[in-house]
Chain A
Amino acid sequence: MPGYQLKINGKSFTVDVASDTPLLWVLRDHLNLVGTKYGCGIASCGACTVHMNGTAVKSCMLPVSGLANAEITTIEGLSENGDHPVQLAWEEVDVAQCGYCQAGQIMTASALLKKNPKPTEQEIVKTMHGNICRCGAYHRIREAVKLASTKI
């Protein structure tokens, strides 16, 4: 198997995996970065969302072979001390119920605010549409994204 050079959370890693291995499983099984979650495996739920060059992408269908020169950020690397404005807003609003989808929600929200620091409610809802929260914490997720936009 070829070795793939990956840049994740500012660090370089080499992984020996098949070329079609999705980034999700490289993170979880090979790099012990388990904050990125497996939800559906078909890019329909958003639990596996990470940043690729600053854009939110679903890592469950992103083969490792396509990641050369890409800068990947996972929930573990979003901030050094868990104090990214989106993480702080999530705490302030007390969003999580079971919490399983929240890393993906936070990564989607933080990518949105990076590109569009003052989104309208419509823009927030449109962007967050790809992330399912089975506990139904959507009201607080929306509120937290709005709050974070005042902190960025």
Chain B
Amino acid sequence: MTRSIDKSRRDFLKITTLTAGGFMLGFNWLTNEVKAATVIKTVAGEIGFNSYLSIATDGLITLFSPNPELGQNIMTSFPMVVAEELDADWTKVKVVQAVLDTARFDRQSTGGSGAVPHSWYLLRTAGATARYMLVAAAAKRWNVDPAECTTEKSFVIHSSTGKKLGYGELAQDACSITVPDRVKLKDRKDFKIIGTAVKNVENSKIHTGKPLFGLDFYREGMLHAMIQRPKAFGLKVKSVDAAEAKSMPGIIDVVTFGNNVAIVGKSTWEIMKARKTMKIEYEKDGNLESSADHDKLFKTLLDTGTPTVQRKDGDVDAAFKNAAKIIKSEYQCPFLPHSPMEPMNFFAHYRADGIELVGPTQTPANARGAVSKLLNVPEEKISLQITRLGGGFGRRLKTDYVTEAAELSSIIKAPVKVTWMKEDDMAGGSYRPAVKYRFEAALDANGNMTGYKLRGVGINAGNCTRQDNFPSGAVDNLLIESIEHVSPITTGAWRAPITNFLAFAEQSFLDEVAYAVKKDPVQFRLELLDRAKNNPVGEIKYDIDRMVGVIKLAVEKSNWGKKKDVSQGFSVYFSHRSYVAQVCEVKMESGKPSVKKIYAAADCGEVINLSGARQQVMGGIVDGYGHAMFGKLTFTDGETDQKNYNSYRLIRMREIPEILPHFVDNGIDPTGLGEPALPPTGGAVANAIFKATGSRIKNQPFNEHSVFTGKKLKSTMKNSGIN
């Protein structure tokens, strides 16, 4: 494949001779086809380039990794792609986390499973261009045609004579080569690094406890701080009595700004102790909502609320009026905290000449923008250093914990690191919203699904549906609606936003319909997909062939429908840009279902790093399974009932099922994998539990259901005899 380097991009390519000798290729990541024109205009003359691929004379290749690393393994997969096209010796590649630099990098954020899809061609072109220039430099020195040269493990080789030169030896000469108009990218059959299992480049630092994370950041003269935020959503500060706290050892000051009462001191423990003595009175500033109220509210809103129509195909009223049978079912999930292991924290130093920010964030540009706006300091005077993130799951897309650190520093005029306690994290927002869905299916006398309705209600969830996902396009008459309840309880994106619960509800409901029409659940879905492909209703925004592809792979790997000793459940979901099908296997043990195994078939396009990809699928499934089984955050009068891991249950080692990840190998460009493995899990598990017990789990967390608690055990329903 040839990749042209368009004019605008070439203009911004820049070669710099390193002071220590060597070659540095500046690559403008901004000249991504879509945004090129606008972005370049904004910054013309200001920027030269962005991420540097540098080759030192000793052969060391350095690459700046622009996107925040929170466990999705971007710091390894990005350089793998560059190294592939460069034909670099992987053992000599060094990766460095870049600071926030919107002039040099594009989409410097982590979220939406989008980093690799976005940067795939930019990274490849960067590597291929450098390789081209190194080859040209070698050919020039040998006085041969570059076409006679090959590359391997950071060497250019002249095939017929066997002459070899290392990239380090060629780096200086490569600087004088004209940047090419077009470069040839490798054919995927020639990939040597992409698709292999490569180990995390930060492993040795992680295994030896090196300071990597925001919480590990230390600056000479830095103060520590914690902030007491209102204990409930819907309260505001009325009065603060911090006299005792201020008198305690190590405490420097107590500062109130907005609803934040910040206690500043010399060490974390001294602050934790003194914080307990603060007497803060609050007053009502909004509704103090409780989970019990939400349960009632959901029912009222589903029955009588005014929905926003998200998609309407055909005539659902007629379809339901003429139905031979109607199936109606409701599914509900609670709030979930993100609960990353590293609590929120950020360092800020407000000075006359600008602001320095250091810490873990998924959206550094947004964080800087928010600080700039709040404190009225121009963005160019604010620096932001991205540390490694001890998990994110969407929580660190928010900027609240960055702005408060900056504001505090601006008040106390000192460098300060604000650390949240786990209790602050769990009680302080911003959660996966609680949602309830009502599904209805109209069936005709032949068991065809002629109508489909979904109405969702969520707390600060915006549109809690994905109206264009399957089965839209496969049903003649369809109505998708959403209702939002606005609450003081803050919510936000939580790994696989909305779909982390919607997929469970939808895939369980489709299972219900499949059983009702006495069809194999997989066959039922394939027939719907066949309908969507051959006779689509309205617009189809998912790739039917890719969905069928993962279904077939999951069926093959799990030996679907052919096992006698286990109960299998099926689920398939499209989220972000990728497709994942899962088959869960359950066995009954001591009268309770035990989840033994989950097969996953993923189509994320080209797999970059097989080790990292497996981690994302297995981790995503553990995440999806653990939260479906145990995750529950409830409120009483606006305050969380759970504060820490002793009352909020996360999955632990002895609770994990065996997980068998497989990938569809179809050569499609990468489509992302940070989230898509999570959504299908709950449905596959609940459907397998139904198969095993005849009981349908409709609410999360699953462990409160009678199949696990043993309470109100229903007589085991004989299921339809279809797998």
Instruction: Report if A67 contacts B (CB, 8 A).
Output: no
Q: Given A42-B646, A45-B341, answer yes or no on A99-B209 (Cβ-Cβ < 8 Å).
A: no
Least Cβ–Cβ distance between A29 and chain B, in angstroms: 5
* A98 and B390 contact, CB distance less than 8 A: yes
* B204 and A101 contact, CB distance less than 8 A: no
Q: Which of B71, B272, B611 contacts A135 (CB under 8 A)?
A: B71
* B207 and A132 contact, CB distance less than 8 A: no
Q: Which of A1, A28, A138, A141 contacts B249 (CB under 8 A)?
A: A1
- Which of B144-152, B443-451, B614-622 faces chain A? B614-622
Q: Which residue on chain A has the smallest CB distance to residue B620?
A: A136
Q: Which of B200, B273, B645, B659 contacts A42 (CB under 8 A)?
A: B645
Residue of A33, A38, A47 with highest tally of chain B CB at under 10 A: A38
- Bound Cα distance from A140 to B273, whole angstroms: 38
Q: Given A91-B203, A99-B212, A100-B213, answer yes or no on A37-B268 (Cβ-Cβ < 8 Å).
A: no
- B188-202 contact mask (Cβ, 8 Å, vs A): 1 or 0: 000000000101101
CB contacts (< 8 Å) of B73 on chain A: these are 97
Instruction: Report if A34 contacts B (CB, 8 A).
Output: yes
Q: Which of A74, A90, A98 contacts B71 (CB under 8 A)?
A: A98
Kindly identify, within residues 353 to 412 of chain B, every residue whose CB is under 8 Å from any CB belonging to chain A: 388-393
- Bound Cα distance from A145 to B72, whole angstroms: 23
* B199 and A94 contact, CB distance less than 8 A: yes
- Chain B interface size band reads 35 or more
* A29 and B208 contact, CB distance less than 8 A: no
CB contacts (< 8 Å) of A126 on chain B: these are 654
Instruction: Report if B512 contacts A (CB, 8 A).
Output: no
CB contacts (< 8 Å) of A45 on chain B: these are 341, 645
Q: Given A37-B215, A82-B208, A96-B200, answer yes or no on A44-B645 (Cβ-Cβ < 8 Å).
A: yes
Q: Which residue on chain A has the smallest CB distance to residue B212?
A: A99
- Bound Cα distance from A100 to B216, whole angstroms: 11
Least Cβ–Cβ distance between A79 and chain B, in angstroms: 8
CB contacts (< 8 Å) of B267 on chain A: these are 17, 25, 29-30
CB contacts (< 8 Å) of A97 on chain B: these are 71-73, 615, 619
Kindly identify, within residues 268 to 282 of chain B, every residue whose CB is under 8 Å from any CB belonging to chain A: 268-270, 272-273
- Bound Cα distance from A76 to B620, whole angstroms: 30
* A94 and B390 contact, CB distance less than 8 A: no
Instruction: Report if B421 contacts A (CB, 8 A).
Output: yes
CB contacts (< 8 Å) of B185 on chain A: these are none
Least Cβ–Cβ distance between A23 and chain B, in angstroms: 10
CB contacts (< 8 Å) of A35 on chain B: these are 208-211
Q: Given A40-B645, A94-B199, answer yes or no on A135-B391 (Cβ-Cβ < 8 Å).
A: yes
- Bound Cα distance from A25 to B646, whole angstroms: 21
- Bound Cα distance from A102 to B388, whole angstroms: 14
- Bound Cα distance from A126 to B630, whole angstroms: 19
- Bound Cα distance from A128 to B272, whole angstroms: 28
Instruction: Report if B206 contacts A (CB, 8 A).
Output: yes
Least Cβ–Cβ distance between A127 and chain B, in angstroms: 9
CB contacts (< 8 Å) of B269 on chain A: these are 17-18, 20-22, 25, 29
* A129 and B207 contact, CB distance less than 8 A: no
CB contacts (< 8 Å) of A38 on chain B: these are 215, 268, 343, 419
Instruction: Report if B35 contacts A (CB, 8 A).
Output: no
* B615 and A100 contact, CB distance less than 8 A: no
Q: Given A35-B210, A45-B341, answer yes or no on A136-B203 (Cβ-Cβ < 8 Å).
A: no
Kindly identify, within residues 409 to 445 of chain B, every residue whose CB is under 8 Å from any CB belonging to chain A: 419, 421-423
CB contacts (< 8 Å) of B484 on chain A: these are none
Instruction: Report if A125 contacts B (CB, 8 A).
Output: yes
* A103 and B646 contact, CB distance less than 8 A: no
Instruction: Report if A139 contacts B (CB, 8 A).
Output: yes
Q: Given A34-B216, A94-B203, answer yes or no on A99-B653 (Cβ-Cβ < 8 Å).
A: no
CB contacts (< 8 Å) of B249 on chain A: these are 1, 18
Least Cβ–Cβ distance between A28 and chain B, in angstroms: 7
Least Cβ–Cβ distance between B542 and chain A, in angstroms: 26
- Bound Cα distance from A128 to B209, whole angstroms: 19
* A32 and B218 contact, CB distance less than 8 A: yes
Instruction: Report if B339 contacts A (CB, 8 A).
Output: yes
Q: Given A82-B207, A98-B71, answer yes or no on A134-B340 (Cβ-Cβ < 8 Å).
A: yes
Q: Which of A32, A36, A40, A74 contacts B644 (CB under 8 A)?
A: A40
* A37 and B204 contact, CB distance less than 8 A: no
Q: Given A22-B269, A94-B203, A102-B206, answer yes or no on A39-B224 (Cβ-Cβ < 8 Å).
A: no
Residue of B392, B393, B654 with highest tally of chain A CB at under 10 A: B654
**8 A-B pairs whose Cβ atoms sit less than 8 Å apart in the complex:** A21-B269, A34-B216, A94-B200, A97-B71, A125-B654, A129-B653, A132-B650, A138-B653
Q: Which 3 residue pairs across A and B have the least CB separation, nearest first? A: A35-B209, A136-B622, A100-B390
Identify the B interface with A (CB < 8 A). Answer: 69-73, 197, 199-200, 202-204, 206-213, 215-216, 218, 224, 249, 267-270, 272-273, 339-343, 388-393, 419, 421-423, 611, 615, 618-623, 626, 644-646, 650-654, 656, 659
